[in-house]
Amino acid sequence: MSRSTLRSARTGGRVAPLFGLPAAGIVALLLYLPFLWTTYVSFTDFNGLGTPVWSGLTNYKAMFSDPDLVGALTNTLLWVVGMVTLPVVLGLVIAVLTYGHRWGTWLRLPFLLPYAISGVAVGVIWGFVLQPDGALGQVLGFLGLPGAHTGWLQAGPGNTLMMIVATSWQAAGVNALLFVIGLQSIPAEPLEAARLDGAEGFKLFLHQLWPQLRPITTVVVGLSIVGSLKTFDVVWVMTQGGPGTSSETLALSMYKETFVLNNYGQGAAIALFLSLVTFAASVLYLRYQLADGDSR
Amino acid sequence: MNKTSSGPVRTAILIVLGLIWLAPVYLLIVNASKAVDAYDPAAVWKPSGFSLFTNFQDAWDKAALGGTLLATTLYSVVAPVLAVLIGAAVGYAIVALRLKYGFVWFVFIFGGTIFPLQMVLMPLFSGYASSGLYDTRVGMIIVYTAISVPFSAFVMRNFFTGIARSVFEAAVVDGGGLFRIFRSIYLPMAGSALAAIFILQATFVWNDLLLGLTLSQSESVRPIMPALTGLQSTYGGAALPTVLAGGLLVSLPTVVLFLAAQRFFSRGLALGQF
């Protein structure tokens, strides 16, 4: 290295923090500081006014004893299970069917379109589709199927299931795209060899493709878990958590406890619980993703 | 792949599935186009009349979408631009300037994406209320920027890592100041990455509900998604076509952006943004 570049490296070393400071500053001030405050408040009885008084694990215990919060916990679990199955399976099917298809890119487009729409708009559309005797009911009636007069969103856990369907409508295309990226990374030779051996269709998929799709599946499932834990927009628009609290998710309870009931401590405890589970899920799939990177 | 992969069965399944997927979009467009008076809840599948623009107008007036549209556009442009620049600056510091403990800086900044929004909502609300940022456009821009910075820093650091070291050394030998090298060499080279981040973050800001709901209330500050849910609460009356027109209206910008920039979206997905 010449003397001038050495000198520049030194100058760079001195000025460099100035370039990093805006990013670190805004993240520290608006994300980390609130994070710490929420963590502290979750162990108190804070109601937004006055000084928080330490209350230990009271708020956390309530999450597992208060019937409304237990209901929200159950619904959130339902969301996680629903979102790692329905849109993931649909995404895989769409990916496998479109991959290598002459018009694959175009045939994938209808599934990708809902991804460009906001959760709020998805809620508006599906709230309309699922009205009692609405669009879905009329189709069922036309086909002579039962359920034409069902109030899809009027009782739990059916309302949660229908909102999972609505969200799957939005998420399947993205999952398909991720699976296509996974399919593209599979070397062609072993596939051709298997084909020559007479493997076809489902058998080819099961023995050749599926094992190689495991890494990307982990990513898709991980992202689905993380996303479903935060479910808020669609529920907020379609049912507001109701009727009663029958379709409330933890993300919704957190909002209600904090901003409707002024129960800041309780809201904070729910937030921290969600964060921990999200973090655990992220570590799980990121570890797989990184391990996959190492093996290549 | 071979010929069987475009077989008729496969194509048929995809077309049927695709039509099912488009059905809600069809229902949205058809019913958003019906005149409020002529809307028949028992015949939602049948198109009738075309009052889309009247309904747009109604949604615009009732949800005060006009004012909110201006504010949301402002947030969706300014916050991602700021985030892109701030992220690029720290990426430049870590990669080109070899910032001391650069990896620690990086982990700290990227760590900002780990916790869900719920974790920061309450303190942001309290902090904004006591500092006068609550229900201000500046406050909204700041929070959207902060949320977008970690991802931007992540992408920019990765992008700059791909630029040869000799580029930086040559620029220094040529006597460029460190800020000038950033502005006139590194930023222009990163055009495609900057655009990808911008598009993804602009879409995020446009589609946000939770932050807007929590940190704003007046018509001129509140972003478009919370405004739409306000319109939605008048649901059940004659205004159904109006609500749907509102839903269509707020979706148009992101759908157009998506169709125009599909490859950026795919790239963003490959980078792990969801």
| Residue partners of A207: CB distance under 8 A and separation at least 6 | A194, A199
> Does residue A233 fall inside a structural domain?
yes
A232: tokens are 């808020």
User: Greater confidence, A219 or A125?
Assistant: A125
pLDDT computed for residue B238 by the predictor: 41
The answer to whether the CB atoms of A35 and B119 lie below 8 A apart is yes
What CATH number does the domain containing A63 carry? 1.10.3720.10
Q: Backbone phi, then psi, for A157, in 5-degree steps?
A: -85, 5
The answer to whether the CB atoms of A20 and B105 lie below 8 A apart is yes
What's this model's pTM, rounded to 2 decimal places? 0.89
Tell me the longest C-alpha to C-alpha distance in chain B.
75
Q: Which of A98, A121, A99 is nearest to A110 (CA)?
A: A98
> Does residue A80 fall inside a structural domain?
yes
Tokens 């007069």 sit on residue: A149
The answer to whether the CB atoms of B269 and A181 lie below 8 A apart is yes
User: Greater confidence, B234 or A163?
Assistant: A163
Low-confidence residues of chain B: pLDDT under 70: 1-6, 63-64, 233-238, 263-274
Whether B125 contacts B213, CB under 8 Å: no
User: Greater confidence, A276 or A187?
Assistant: A276
Q: Which of A99, A127, A75, A87 is nearest to A249 (CA)?
A: A75
Cα(A134)–Cα(A143) distance, integer angstroms: 14
pLDDT computed for residue A13 by the predictor: 65
Q: Which of A118, A126, A133 shows the shortest C-beta gap to B207? A: A118
Q: Which of A41-55, A165-179, A187-201, B121-135 has the lowest mean pLDDT?
A: A187-201
User: Greater confidence, B55 or A41?
Assistant: A41
| Residue partners of A42: CB distance under 8 A and separation at least 6 | A59, A60, A265, A268, A269, A271, A272
CA distance B41 to chain A (A): 7
pLDDT tier, A126 (very low <50, low <70, confident <90, very high otherwise):
very high
The answer to whether the CB atoms of B207 and A275 lie below 8 A apart is no
The answer to whether the CB atoms of A23 and B257 lie below 8 A apart is no
CA distance A265 to chain B (A): 10
Whether A128 contacts B244, CB under 8 Å: yes
The answer to whether the CB atoms of B21 and A264 lie below 8 A apart is no
A264 touches chain B (CB under 8 A): yes
> Does residue A14 fall inside a structural domain?
no
DSSP A223-245: HHHHHHHT--HHHHHHTTT-STT
Structural domains of chain B ordered from first start: 58-270 (1.10.3720.10)
Cα(A271)–Cα(A254) distance, integer angstroms: 6
The answer to whether the CB atoms of B115 and A131 lie below 8 A apart is no
> pLDDT of A78-96, one tens digit each?
999 999 999 999 999 999 8
- Give the structural domain span for A69: 43-295
Identify all chain B residues contacting A24, using CB atoms and an 8 Å cutoff.
Answer: 90, 105, 108-109
Mean pLDDT value across residues A42-47: 94
CA distance B211 to chain A (A): 11
CA distance A116 to chain B (A): 5
Cα(A105)–Cα(B272) distance, integer angstroms: 21
pLDDT computed for residue B93 by the predictor: 94
User: Does residue A157 have a pLDDT over 80?
Assistant: yes
| For B5, nearest residue in chain A (alpha carbons) | A101
Whether B149 contacts A64, CB under 8 Å: no
B67 touches chain A (CB under 8 A): no
Q: Which of A23, A97, A232 shows the shortest C-beta gap to B210? A: A232
Residue in B25, B94, B118, B254 to test binding to A, most A beta-carbons within 10 Å: B118
pLDDT computed for residue A130 by the predictor: 93
Q: Helix, strand or coil for residue A188? A: helix
User: Does residue A56 have a pLDDT over 70?
Assistant: yes
Chain A stretch 155-214, residues whose beta carbon is closer than 8 A to a beta carbon of chain B: 169, 173-174, 177-178, 181, 195, 200
> Does residue A221 fall inside a structural domain?
yes
Cα(A279)–Cα(A286) distance, integer angstroms: 10
> pLDDT of B206-250, one tens digit each?
999 999 999 999 988 999 999 888 877 654 444 788 889 989 999
| Residue partners of B157: CB distance under 8 A and separation at least 6 | B90, B91, B94, B95, B106
User: Greater confidence, B137 or A214?
Assistant: B137
Give how many domains chain A has, as a whole number. Answer: 1
| For A188, nearest residue in chain B (alpha carbons) | B1
Identify all chain B residues contacting A103, using CB atoms and an 8 Å cutoff.
Answer: 6, 11
Can you give chain B as a three-state secondary structure string?
A: CCHHHHCHHHHHHHHHHHHHHHHHHHHHHHHHCCCCCCCCCCCCCCCCCCCHHHHHHHHHHHCCHHHHHHHHHHHHHHHHHHHHHHHHHHHHHHHCCCCCCHHHHHHHHHHHHCCCCHHHHHHHHHHHHHHCCCCCHHHHHHHHHHHHHHHHHHHHHHHHHCCCHHHHHHHHHCCCCHHHHHHHHHHHHCHHHHHHHHHHHHHHHHHCCHHHHHHCCCCCCCCHHHHHHHHHCCCCCCCHHHHHHHHHHHHHHHHHHHHHCHHHHHHHHHCCCC
B79: tokens are 């916050």
User: Greater confidence, A147 or B31?
Assistant: B31
> Does residue A191 fall inside a structural domain?
yes
CA distance B89 to chain A (A): 5
A114 touches chain B (CB under 8 A): yes
pLDDT tier, A148 (very low <50, low <70, confident <90, very high otherwise):
confident
Whether B257 contacts A169, CB under 8 Å: no
CA distance A157 to chain B (A): 23
> Does residue A12 fall inside a structural domain?
no
Identify all chain B residues contacting A237, using CB atoms and an 8 Å cutoff.
Answer: 229, 232
Residue in A46, A103, A124 to test binding to B, most B beta-carbons within 10 Å: A124
Identify all chain B residues contacting A119, using CB atoms and an 8 Å cutoff.
Answer: 207, 209
A41 touches chain B (CB under 8 A): yes
> Does residue A32 fall inside a structural domain?
no
Residue in A29, A30, A274 to test binding to B, most B beta-carbons within 10 Å: A30
Identify all chain A residues contacting B274, using CB atoms and an 8 Å cutoff.
Answer: 174, 223, 226-227
A12 CB neighbour count, 10 Å cutoff: 21
B238 touches chain A (CB under 8 A): no
Cα(B17)–Cα(B260) distance, integer angstroms: 24
User: Does residue A234 have a pLDDT over 80?
Assistant: yes
> pLDDT of B121-151, one tens digit each?
999 999 999 999 999 999 999 999 999 999 9
pLDDT computed for residue A19 by the predictor: 95
pLDDT computed for residue A150 by the predictor: 86
Whether B122 contacts B56, CB under 8 Å: no
> Does residue A245 fall inside a structural domain?
yes
pLDDT computed for residue A195 by the predictor: 73
A81 touches chain B (CB under 8 A): no
Cα(B107)–Cα(A17) distance, integer angstroms: 15
pLDDT computed for residue B152 by the predictor: 93
pLDDT computed for residue A40 by the predictor: 96
pLDDT computed for residue A251 by the predictor: 96
Q: For residue A245, give the amino acid letter.
A: T
